[in-house]
Amino acid sequence: MSSNTPLSEGSEWTFELIETYDREIARIAGSYGLDTYPNQIEIIRSDQMMDAYASVGMPVGYHHWSFGKQFLNVERGYKRGQMGLAYEIVINSNPCIAYLMEENSMTMQALVIAHACYGHNSFFKNNYLFKSWTDADSIIDYFVFARNYIAQCEERHGTEEVEAILDSCHALMFYGTDRYKRPYPISAAEELARQEERAEYLQRQINDLWRTIPKSKAGKMGRTEHRFPAEPQENLLYFIEKNAPLLEPWQREIVRIVRKIAQYFYPQRQTQVMNEGWATFWHYTILNDMFDQGLVTDGFMMEFLHSHSSVVAQPGFDSPYFNGINPYALGFAMMRDIRRVCENPTEEDKRWFPEIAGSDWLSTLHFAMENFKDESFIQQYLSPTVIRDFHLFCILDEEESETIDVSAIHDEDGYRQVREALAAQYNLSSREPDIQVYEVDVEGDRSLTLHHQQQSQKPLAENTEEVLKHLYRLWKFEVHLYSYDGEEVDVSYRVPKRKGLSLAP
């Protein structure tokens, strides 16, 4: 331990202290090679934190009732004390915006700075999903553009009109990304400049598609050959934006805005464990280093460890506090474990991870952070040690079976299965039903047909019809959805409902 004097003694923070801590944290983060965007640290009140919560991560959001609902929800939770306002919200932007609440003690501010401004920040800048799906430089401008555009639409077309379109787009928000095609990064300036031109161009294209005058029945014979779209489309919002026959240009633009914003959030939904794990690992490492260098007091450490350990707590499945696997806990444990495997591998580790056991932990950890998402990260790095520490076990809940079967536990025979099942649990495409646009009846009634491929015979939720109503609102012609179990149609939906007709395809 060095003989440095602590940066501060009491729990009060000041702007000078925040600067000092930030400088020290940045220094240590730099020594570990954390590559970050510049930070914009904003001190806010707790009610502003609630606002930030309610706008689900958009520092500049358009107006919509659902954010109001979100706000009331947060407010209620906060007032009842069910929820401490989390210490951090951080925006994937350049500069990277992080909020600190004024009520926090100096220790908590330091924790948040280390966690958000250096942990999350470096994750945003270097993880491949964020790199390829989001453009941190222009996102704030895009939010501003979106907000202004939607406000203009409200003025021109009425709040209710706009709200209805937004409702429908939100219902399909998770179906607004191409999972396999890489997108073009969003650029706000271009977006604005090209927007009018695009509206016109789009409308022309759509007119081309729909110009076909309905032909006689003979023409229908050849339909399968000219199926439109030629390939099934997974990006429903994109498909609607480009092809919905009756949308006004401004409505298309709104569909596009929701789609672009969904795309911006898409990486976050797939990297929860990694992102939180990474940030937690670094606040833990950095603050411990500060302690070792004599920069913080014992009291500081006690307070820090207290909140750190409640963040990474993992209640068991039978605990009343159980609420799924805690991404902070799992992520932190795995990040630490990778370091352990590199530095002090056991025989078991050498068998499981021959390529990383004994390697340089820092570059291995950076590599893991940069090149994976939750699903693949778990598949690649979840070690028997962590499985044992968490007492993970896998159950199979099959429809036909009377009982729930324990298929694997944390033992030699079970590690691989547990790991695979847990990875699958984080696979977005198994969490969300696989629904794609199959066909549009271009020459006939213009109806839209979707196919759902069931995974493990999981049916669609009860409110599927409600979602289809939203789709119908955008498409404006009949919408069909066939839910396939293998090759067989299991259930079919049609909106709007036709009276007294069977719905066989």
Partner 1 sequence: MSYIIDRRLNSKDKSAVNRQRFLRRYKKHIKRAVSDAVSKRSITDMERGENISIPEKDLDEPVFGHGEGGNRARVLPGNKEFRAGDKLQRPEGGAGGGAGKGDASDSGEGMDEFVFQITQDEFLEFMFEDLELPNLVKRQLNATESFQLVRAGISEEGTPNQLNVVRSMRSAYARRIALGAKKKRRRDEILAELEEQMDDENHRKALREELELLQKKLSHIPWIDDFDLKYNITRREPQPCSKAVMFCLMDVSGSMDQRTKDIAKRFFILLYLFLQRNYEKTEVVFIRHHSTAKEVDEEEFFYSRETGGTVVSSALRLMDEIITERYPITEWNLYGAQASDGDNWTNDSPVCHKLLANKLLPLLQYYCYIEITDRGHQELWQYYEKLAESTPEAFAMRGIEDYADIYPVFRELFQREKPRVSQ
* Residues within window 388-427 making contact with partner 1, judged by CB under 8 A: 390-399, 402-411, 413-414, 418, 421-422, 424-425
State the nearest-atom distance from the C-beta of 50 to partner 1, in Å: 7
Cβ distance to partner 1 smaller for residue 343 or 432: 432
- The verdict on 48 binding partner 1 (CB under 8 A) reads yes
The per-residue DSSP string of 244-276 comes to -TT--HHHHHHHHHHHHHHHHHHHHHH-HHHHH
Residue from 32, 71, 128, 367 binding partner 1 (CB under 8 A): 71
Question: Could you tell me the smallest distance in angstroms from the CB atom of residue 48 to partner 1?
Answer: 7
User: How many binding residues for partner 1 (CB under 8 A)?
Assistant: 100
Q: Between 26 and 342, name the residue whose CB sits nearer to partner 1.
A: 26
**Token output for 238:** 């994109």
- Restricting to residues 293-352, name those near partner 1 by CB under 8 A: 314-319, 322-325
Instruction: Give residues with Cβ within 8 angstroms of 198, minimum separation 6.
Output: none
Of 72 and 209, CB closest to partner 1: 72
Q: 32: helix, coil or strand?
A: coil
Taking the complex as a whole, the smallest distance from the CB of residue 125 to partner 1 amounts, in Å, to 13
Tokens standing for residue 253: 């633009």
By CB under 8 A, name the one of 33, 65, 193, 354 that touches partner 1: 65
Binding mask 162-181 for partner 1 (x = CB under 8 A): -x---x--xxxxxx------
Binders in 439-498 for partner 1, by CB under 8 A: 454-464, 466-467, 470
Q: How far is the CB of 280 from partner 1 (least distance, A)?
A: 17
Residue 26 or 274 with smaller CB distance to partner 1: 26
Which residue has 């490492």 as its token pair? 285
Specify burial of residue 402 (Cβ count, 10 A radius: 0-12, 13-18, 19+).
exposed
Q: Match 């929800």 to its residue by tokens.
A: 73
Q: What is the dihedral of CA 491, 266, 91, 59, to 10 degrees?
A: -50
Backbone angles phi, psi at 494, to 5 degrees: -145, 135
Among positions 178-237, residues that touch partner 1 (CB under 8 A) are: none
Q: Which of 91, 117, 244, 296 binds partner 1 (CB under 8 A)?
A: 117
Q: Do 85 and 49 contact (CB within 8 A), yes or no?
A: yes
Which DSSP state fits 56? Answer: T
Q: Phi/psi zone of residue 33: left (φ > 0), alpha (ψ -120 to 50 degrees), beta?
A: left
Applying CB under 8 A, among 6, 11, 32, 51 the residue interacting with partner 1 is 51
> Quick one: CA torsion of 175, 176, 182, 184, rounded to 10 degrees?
180
Tell me how far, at minimum, the Cβ of 363 lies from partner 1, in Å: 24
Distance of closest approach, residue 77 Cβ to partner 1, in angstroms: 11
- Separation of CA 59 from chain center: 16
Select 366 or 470, whichever has its Cβ closest to partner 1.
470
Between 55 and 177, CB nearer to partner 1: 55
The minimum distance between CB 388 and partner 1, in angstroms, equals 10
Q: Which of residues 140-159 bind partner 1 (CB under 8 A)?
A: 159
Residue where the block lists tokens 């430089």: 137
Find the shortest distance in angstroms from Cβ 72 to partner 1: 4
Cβ 103 to partner 1, closest distance in Å?
11
The whole-angstrom separation of Cα 275 and Cα 130 is 11
Whichever of 173 and 301 has its CB closer to partner 1, that residue is 173
The residue type of 313 is A
Under a CB-based contact definition with an 8 Å cutoff, are residues 117 and 90 in contact? Answer: yes
Closer Cβ to partner 1, 44 or 192, answer by number = 44
* Distance of closest approach, residue 52 Cβ to partner 1, in angstroms: 8
474, 240 contact by CB (below 8 A): yes
On the 0-12 / 13-18 / 19+ scale of CB atoms within 10 A, 353 is buried
Neighbours of 495 (CB within 10 A): 21
Residue of 6, 11, 32, 64 interacting with partner 1 (CB under 8 A): 64
74 backbone dihedrals φ, ψ, rounded to 5°: -65, -45
**Which of 10, 30, 35, 47 is the binder for partner 1 (CB under 8 A)?**
47
Measured from the CB atom, the residue of 28 and 357 that comes closer to partner 1 is 28
Q: Looking only at residues 91 through 110 of this chain, which bind partner 1 when binding is defined by CB under 8 A?
A: 95, 102
95-194-155-150 Cα dihedral, nearest 10 degrees: -40
Q: Which is nearer to partner 1, 357 or 422 (CB)?
A: 422
Of residues 81 and 500, the one with the C-beta less far from partner 1: 81
Site string for partner 1, 7-46 (x = CB under 8 A): --------x--xx--x---x-----------xxxxxxxx-
Residue choice 69, 179, 220, 498 for contact with partner 1 (CB under 8 A): 69
Query: Which residues contact residue 351 at a Cβ distance below 8 angstroms, ignoring those fewer than 6 apart?
Result: none
Task: Kindly tell me which of 268 and 455 has the beta carbon lying closer to partner 1.
Answer: 455
Q: In terms of DSSP bridges, do strands 96-101 and 39-44 run parallel, antiparallel, or are they unpaired? A: parallel
**Rounded least distance, CB 425 to partner 1, Å:** 6
Amino acid occupying residue 391: H
